[in-house]
Amino acid sequence: MLDELNQLGIEFVSKRENIDTSGPLGRAMLTIVGAISELERSLIVERVRAGMRRAKLEGRRIGRAPLNIERAQVVADRLSGMSLTSVAKKYHVSRATVCRLVNEAGGLKKPRVPQLGHEERVVPPNESSNLPTAA
């Protein structure tokens, strides 16, 4: 951002840090402050990763706890005709969770309805080269 301001002829002055980018010393200070903040961020990221590795080695769970519900029963209820909202309320989960569980189980696929004016043609692999091409 500061390079963009510099190209537009705008000088950046920070009263709090006492940095004036109009001169070479101010630009150098800005570069040093940027490098130190980047180093600090990298150190924080590395400490977080090390802590997660240690917790994993100690057997602690990382992330959200899994749902404690009977997944097969949720899918069975939905496939039996219960509404999405009814199943979600019965098991105290979101509607999105019900959809995800049903999709993972491979059930309740919506039939694809062709749109008006769009004809679909199944082309055997050996006939694909004989199709007219759009110019």
The 10s digit of each residue's pLDDT in 74-122 is 999 999 888 989 999 999 999 999 999 999 888 665 555 555 655 555 5
How many angstroms separate the CA atoms of 73 and 80, rounded?
10
How many angstroms separate the CA atoms of 66 and 93, rounded?
12
Interval 4-40: pLDDT, tens:
877 888 887 878 877 787 778 888 888 898 899 999 9
Contact call for residues 78 and 98 (beta carbons, < 8 A): yes
How many angstroms separate the CA atoms of 13 and 25, rounded?
12
Contact call for residues 104 and 67 (beta carbons, < 8 A): no
Q: Where are the domains of the chain?
A: 2-57, 71-105
Q: What's the pLDDT at 29?
A: 83
Q: What's the pLDDT at 45?
A: 97
0.85 exceeded by pTM: no
Selection from 87, 90, 112, 115 nearest residue 102 by Cα: 87
